[in-house]
Amino acid sequence: MTETTNTETKAKTSLWQELKIIFSSSRAFWLINMVNFADGIAYFGILTLLTLFLGGSVGMSDELSGVSVSTFTGLVTLFMFGGGFVSDKYGVRKALTIALGLLFSGRVLLSLAALPAGFGLAWIGYVMSWAAILLMALGSGILQPALYAGAKEYTNPKVSAIAFSFIYAFMNLGIVFGNFVSPFIRTDEPFIGSLHGLGWGIMGVFLTCTAITGVVLLLHITLFSKKVEKECRVAVVNEEENQNKTWKQRLAEMPFRDVRFMWFIFILLPVQTLFAHQFLTMPDYIFRVFSPEVAAKFEWINGINPFIIVIFVPLIAMFTRNVSVFKMLMIGTSVSAATTFLLIGQETSVTTLILYVIIFSLGEAAWSSRFYEYVGDLAPVGQVGAYMGLAGLPWFLAKFTTGLYSGSMLAHFIPKEGAQAPGTMWLIYAFIACITPIGLLLTRKWIESGLQKKS
């Protein structure tokens, strides 16, 4: 087999031609997006409520809940580094099977972790939660690189920008669906006329997410056969040579020694703390600062972000496909960081909150998928998973370090009882996020000269 590399020249095509190519993509591409969509529902359906579940149902303190959730999200990204090698060595199909099996097991365990507290055995719930966190993190760490590796293997290289944006958009489409349904499962509040929610609580949401994972695992095993995997590959590499490489050889081929590339991905860390706060801080912020009526529909507010991502990530990718990744990062990170200043007022407003979510999301849509496209293009075929894992290291640090202080910041600025100062907390977070666009701007010429050498 011949190898298709990222250095292959991409012929210029019109937007209409690129859309025709992407919508006529292989069966395998749409099957990985089936998994992507379903896991978007389950992963974020759980993550959105995880701090509330650990603090309320399992009985952990604010600080311990924050550290536990941060450990989970941090481990997801840490495992992406090793998980990327799984899809590179064994192929996308097998990697997805392994990942879904681990996720299903972990989500079953987590859904049941609240039960011991009812018998006065809260410590057992703690252990079950942490074991579930480990299983789910490992599963997600394998799943995410495999999805992006599949986008490269199963689509025409002429449409890589749109293909990677579809991966990001389908995940967010799952989040939109999950966030819309979650309040109906969780609460017994009226939603449409006299129609009330089921009132199953957070555990009911988690069990639903677990069932979705089990169903998609069965569909994946049934529909994504070896024959489909072989017939649908567009970009392939000598499999025997790839599978015989040692871990040491694979690590040596990674761009660790490229100082520009490493700075490029690590300078994103400060603004990525804002993404971590969407699930570490925002749930308690809304539940503690806003009225119960607003809190009852928290998932709907949280779902604005993925709804915008679903629409605007593909659109922006299509119309800016010839704009450099660096420029899109500058625009997107600047918008996301600056928007946080909307929350610094001490008077809370649902309108301001929604406006913040909308503008923040537009900033995310401007650069998120384009960054992964760049990493995918940089990586040789057969190493996409490993490169995606490396690109995720700053995200690991952002999620892990943010959780180390988010619980304490909540307890200090937005305690469950007593005086609250949410505006001061968001002001601090806004200043931290601004480090990214400022750092990019100050090193622009140096970074761009390195990126041009790779293009």
CB 61, CB 55: distance < 8 Å: yes
In sequence order, which residues have a C-beta less than 8 Å from that of residue 129 and are 6 or more positions away? 54, 58, 60, 68, 110, 113
Q: Comparing C-alpha atoms, which of 28, 36, 320 is closest to residue 155?
A: 28
| Range among 236-240, 305-309, 394-398, 437-441 rated most confident | 437-441
| Predicted pLDDT of residue 4 | 40
Dihedral class, residue 317 (left if φ above 0, else alpha if ψ from -120 to 50, else beta): alpha
Kindly tell me the sign of the dihedral angle through the C-alpha atoms of 213, 214, 219, 220.
positive
- The lowest-confidence range among 217-221, 289-293, 389-393 is 389-393
- Residue extents of the structural domains in the chain: 15-454
| Predicted pLDDT of residue 295 | 82
Predicted confidence (pLDDT) per residue in 408-431, tens digit: 899 899 988 888 899 999 999 999
CB atoms within 10 A of CB 230: 12
Q: For the residues 43-61, what does the mean pLDDT come to?
A: 87
Instruction: Specify the CATH number for 15-454; select among 1.10.287.3240, 1.10.630.10, 1.20.1250.20, 3.40.1380.20.
Output: 1.20.1250.20
Query: Taking 50 as the threshold, does the pLDDT of residue 8 lie above it?
Result: no
CB 398, CB 269: distance < 8 Å: yes
Q: Identity (one letter) of the amino acid at 212?
A: I
Report the chain's mean pLDDT, rounded to a whole number.
Answer: 81
Q: How far is CA 132 from CA 78, 342, 343, in A?
A: 16, 36, 34
Query: Taking 90 as the threshold, does the pLDDT of residue 115 lie above it?
Result: no
| Range among 46-55, 165-174, 185-194, 257-266 rated most confident | 46-55
Q: How far is CA 423 from CA 63, 305, 414, 429, 436, in A?
A: 20, 21, 10, 10, 21
Tell me the two tokens of residue 205: 């949401």
| Predicted pLDDT of residue 99 | 95
For residues 296 and 286, give the distance between their C-alpha atoms in angstroms, rounded to a whole number: 10
CA 369 to chain centre: 11
| Predicted pLDDT of residue 277 | 87
Q: For the residues 3-16, what does the mean pLDDT come to?
A: 47
343 — pLDDT class (breaks 50, 70, 90): very high
The more confidently predicted of residues 203 and 24 is 203
Predicted confidence (pLDDT) per residue in 212-256, tens digit: 999 999 999 999 888 887 776 765 554 555 555 565 666 666 666
